[in-house]
């Protein structure tokens, strides 16, 4: 019997040399193992080759990671992407049905950056593919020529929704500083999602799933980067880990199937 909850971390499908590979960046794994105090399991981007229901049944939580790729716009009725935009069809085929199944089954979910955008798409929302080209929006992209500490450093404040999950994690504070490393963002918010945080330009930066049976939070920024030192990031992973432990304890308390 496992002593800690088992958390799946979604992988990107890519190539290593001439071989297909499934990749998760270390920062997500470290945040799950250390910040959520859980066991980490990479979920490969295999689409229908692996049953979403079977994965949900095996896991105590799921982290939907950020990525250099974007959700293909046909999933939300968007216009074709600008030439050169990176997509990952295998990831879309894995994460979109998996997120639906996980939230429906009461599996705790933390969705980050691309994962946050996937959450909006899963529930019927749309995305702006190039936020910096939308009237009234700021440029939320990072400077990729800068060091990682600069790229992932505090970029702007977000206003936290009163009474929300993040507002409570911050002890009732109304604002928090976050990093910003994204080109796409929420255009139309999906039904069933409640706003948790908003950027100064009005862009939605965090949501929760209303009526979810367990923790179901999506954030546009990257709390995994400084999960041990930033109060909001620490709080997010601790709360997620607690939800995963609660699911594990509930599963262990159920009578064995015969």
> Catalytic residue at 244?
no
Ramachandran angles phi, psi of 133, nearest 5°: -100, 0
CB atoms within 10 A of CB 32: 28
Catalytic residue among 140, 167, 182, 222: 222
Catalytic residue among 72, 118, 196, 224: 224
> Catalytic residue at 224?
yes
Contact 85, 134 (CB under 8 A): no
Structure tokens at 182: 């994204």
The alpha carbon dihedral of 64, 181, 90, 9 has a sign of negative
Contact 186, 204 (CB under 8 A): yes
Overall residue count recorded for the chain in this entry: 258
C-beta contacts of 104-107 below 8 A and 24+ residues apart: 105/56, 105/57, 105/213, 106/212, 106/213, 106/214, 106/247, 107/56, 107/59, 107/60, 107/61, 107/62, 107/214, 107/247
Where residue 124 falls (left for φ over 0; alpha for ψ -120 to 50; beta otherwise) is left
Active site residues: 113, 222, 224
């Amino acid at each position: 019997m496992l002593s800690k909850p088992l958390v799946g971390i979604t992988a990107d499908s890519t190539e290593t040399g001439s071989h297909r590979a499934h990749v998760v960046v270390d920062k997500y794994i470290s945040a799950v193992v250390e910040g959520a105090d859980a066991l980490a399991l990479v979920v490969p981007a295999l689409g229908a080759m692996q049953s979403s229901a079977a994965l949900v049944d095996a896991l105590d939580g799921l982290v939907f990671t950020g990525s250099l790729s974007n959700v293909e716009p046909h999933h939300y009725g968007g216009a074709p992407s600008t030439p050169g935009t990176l997509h990952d069809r295998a990831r879309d085929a894995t994460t979109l049905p998996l997120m639906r199944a996980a939230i429906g089954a009461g599996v705790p979910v933390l969705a980050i950056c691309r994962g946050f955008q996937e959450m909006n798409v899963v529930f019927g929302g749309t995305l702006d593919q190039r936020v910096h080209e939308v009237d009234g929006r700021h440029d939320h992209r990072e400077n990729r020529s800068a060091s990682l500490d600069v790229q992932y450093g505090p970029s702007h404040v977000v206003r936290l929704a009163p009474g929300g999950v993040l507002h409570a994690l911050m002890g009732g504070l109304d604002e928090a500083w976050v990093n910003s490393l994204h080109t796409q963002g929420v255009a139309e918010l999906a039904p069933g999602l409640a706003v948790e945080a908003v950027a100064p330009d009005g862009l939605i930066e965090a949501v929760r799933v209303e009526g979810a049976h367990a923790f179901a939070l999506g954030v546009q920024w990257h709390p995994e980067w400084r999960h041990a030192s930033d109060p909001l990031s620490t709080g997010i992973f601790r709360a997620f880990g607690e939800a995963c432990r609660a699911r594990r304890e509930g599963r262990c308390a159920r009578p064995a199937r015969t």
